[in-house]
Amino acid sequence: MEPDKLSEDQELNLSIPVLALEEMESEKRPECCIYKVPQKLREVKQEAYTPKLISIGPYHYGQENLKKMEDLKVRYFNEAVKRTKKNHDDFIRCIRKIEYKKILHCYAEVNDMNEKDFMRMILLDSIFIIEQLWRTNENPPMSPPAMTTISRKCEWKLDACIITCQKETKEDDPEKKNPKEDNHKKENPLRSYNITQDLILLENQVPFFVLEELYDFAYSDLFMYQQNEDNSFLKLVRAYFFHFWESSGLVRYSDYVKIFSGKKKKVKHLTDFLRYFLLPQNLKCVRSFERVPCATKLSEAGVEFKVSKSENGGVLDIQFRKSALLEICPFLNMSWLLSCFPCFKCLEIMQPVLELKSFVIRDATESVVRNLMALEQCHYPWEAYVCNYIVLLDHLINTEADVDLLVEKNIIVNWLGNNKAVAILINHLCQQIVEGNHSCYFDLSEKIKDHYSSRWSKLMASFTNLYFKDFWRGTATVVGIMVLFFAFWNFLRPFVFHT
């Protein structure tokens, strides 16, 4: 090698900087659990990942449209000091016990804040979250209609509509409480609901161990529940989510007992906590599956869709049941008869059934699902159960007709009001989602495809679609067969019975 060439190579090698591992790949650290949503996912629907009211953590800190809530954080902190009978220095000492690096390494991207400002932000955000959870569970913004009456007064100032909600509680002695004081304690339901939506965003998190440390330090002695009950922070979080998500089926009390009763789970943040409630009970990720037929095609092939009545399992638990007799003699499938005459309950065992839990779709569902899927794409790529479920749902739903069928069977509870909007929503949720050749529904998909690809199922699909698509067509078919039978019998009778 020429001397000049050698010197150039040596200079090139010397010019490459040597970086520490944590500086080169921050997302590879074991502590990392709070990520910025990948750009490809964000481009699909940016507003689903962006806080609208309040900033939590460093990713959206200081944004102009979120600065108004910084004063509320300070007010909540000062009221927390009075509530817990601690002073400011006590909280500062508590947050200092948690190492700065330990908290910082939970975030995938290192920010430019100095240590003092960062720890102040974490302290205010953490106390705000705990206070929000505490206030919501102590004085719910919305109470059962049987006990209270909600009156709304709409005042127009400049171009903004200010909604004030007053709660009138039916009591024997109305003088026992000061109405103004009671009103002050109650949380604005609209603001509380919007804050809840921001608290489940992946980019809007603080580490769960920070929240637990502060709660155990300042709040554990303030018993919200009876003293013989669990007063942990996990139960407080469960009660908070249960208050807002009970009707959606995402959070159930039985799930909390099942998930957190034994070994303590290492929850990473609030988004991760919500994901725990959706994990299937007995499913493991094996390998990805090819596309399965849509709901209408499966229905035509004799598959009955039913809502699972099982108390075990959540939304992600799906079962395909087929009797042993049908496996041996597929021509005994009576779905063509049951599709028109459902009164023949005794024949239900003679058809394959796909059982799913009801999935409630409302305005906030898209944001929740997208952030859970983004968390799995970043942190659980080999256990992406929520992504697997949405991909399977995307296979079952191609058009509005598929949604019509699933809504009719109560598999999907549509609060959007438009079945076409649900079809578009489900189809768009899978954009830029990668399963990584791992899915918990591989075995399920194989069973579905084996049934659908059989010759008898295809014949059944054509037969049902032509002659037994609905009650009237089925009735006409049965009447036609009877007329044909009697006509043929009248033709044969003179030859059979000689007179």
String of DSSP letters for 377-439: HHH-TT--HHHHHHHHHHHH-SSHHHHHHHHHTTSEEE-SS-HHHHHHHHHHHTTT---TT--
Amino acid at 218: A
Closest CA to 340 of 484, 485, 465, 452: 465
3-state secondary structure of 39: helix
182, part of any domain = yes
375, part of any domain = yes
Does residue 450 sit in the same domain as residue 489?
A: no
Q: String of b and e for 390-409 (b: at least 16 CB within 10 Å)?
A: bbbbbbbbbeebbbbbbeeb
What is the pLDDT, as a whole number, of residue 100? 93
Going 305 to 308 to 314 to 320, the CA torsion angle's sign is negative
Does residue 178 sit in the same domain as residue 52?
A: no
338, part of any domain = yes
Q: Parallel, antiparallel, or unpaired for β 359-361 and 353-356?
A: unpaired
What is the pLDDT, as a whole number, of residue 369? 95
H/E stretch holding 305: strand 304-307
266, part of any domain = no
265, part of any domain = no
Does residue 89 sit in the same domain as residue 150?
A: no
Report in angstroms the alpha-carbon separations of 281 from 250, 258, 369.
Answer: 15, 10, 19
Give me the tens of pLDDT residue by residue for the chain, a chain 499 residues long: 555 555 555 554 555 565 554 555 666 678 899 999 999 999 999 999 999 999 999 999 989 999 999 999 999 999 999 999 999 999 999 999 998 999 999 999 877 889 999 999 999 999 999 999 998 887 776 543 333 333 333 333 333 333 333 433 333 444 444 444 444 456 677 788 889 999 999 999 999 999 999 999 998 888 665 554 567 888 889 888 887 777 666 776 667 776 776 556 689 999 999 998 888 877 888 888 888 999 998 888 878 898 988 777 788 889 998 866 666 666 556 565 555 555 555 455 567 889 999 999 988 899 999 999 999 999 999 999 999 999 999 999 999 999 999 999 999 999 888 899 999 999 999 999 888 778 899 999 999 988 888 776 666 666 666 666 666 666 777 788 788 888 888 877 777 776 5
Residue 205: CB atoms within 10 Å: 27
Structure tokens at 4: 């000049």
What is the pLDDT, as a whole number, of residue 180? 40
273, part of any domain = no
- Measured at the CA of 365, the angle between CA 41 and CA 375, to 5 degrees, comes to 40
Helices 88-97 and 208-218: crossing angle in degrees, nearest 10, is 140
96, part of any domain = yes
Closest CA to 128 of 75, 194, 51: 75
CA 2 to the chain's CA centroid: 64
Amino acid at 167: K
What is the pLDDT, as a whole number, of residue 478? 73
What is the pLDDT, as a whole number, of residue 227? 52
Q: How far apart are CA 301 and CA 462, in angstroms?
A: 8
Give the count of domains, the chain: 4
pTM of the model: 0.80
* Beta strand residue intervals within 158-301, DSSP E: 160-169
CA 10 to the chain's CA centroid: 55
Specify whether the backbone of 415 is left (phi greater than 0), alpha (psi in -120 to 50) or beta: alpha
308: Cβ–Cβ under 8 A, 6 or more apart, which residues? 317, 319, 355, 356, 357
Unique residue bearing structure tokens 């009735």 = 475
Does residue 324 sit in the same domain as residue 306?
A: yes
What is the pLDDT, as a whole number, of residue 188? 74
Does residue 124 sit in the same domain as residue 149?
A: no
Q: Parallel, antiparallel, or unpaired for β 353-356 and 304-307?
A: parallel
- Measured at the CA of 57, the angle between CA 100 and CA 128, to 5 degrees, comes to 100
Does residue 405 sit in the same domain as residue 491?
A: no
What is the pLDDT, as a whole number, of residue 226? 54
Residue 423: CB atoms within 10 Å: 20
Does residue 439 sit in the same domain as residue 475?
A: no
Structure tokens at 325: 């007799």
Q: How far apart are CA 485 and CA 72, in angstroms?
A: 81
12, part of any domain = no
3-state secondary structure of 459: helix
Structure tokens at 84: 């817990």
Does residue 382 sit in the same domain as residue 418?
A: yes
What is the pLDDT, as a whole number, of residue 153? 36
Does residue 211 sit in the same domain as residue 180?
A: no
Does residue 386 sit in the same domain as residue 316?
A: yes
User: Long-range contact list for 182-187, CB < 8 A, 24+ apart?
Assistant: 185/135, 185/139, 186/139, 186/141, 187/135, 187/136, 187/139, 187/140, 187/141
Does residue 383 sit in the same domain as residue 492?
A: no
Does residue 349 sit in the same domain as residue 437?
A: yes
The boundaries of the domain holding residue 164 are 145-186
Q: How far apart are CA 193 and CA 165, in angstroms?
A: 14
What is the pLDDT, as a whole number, of residue 34? 96
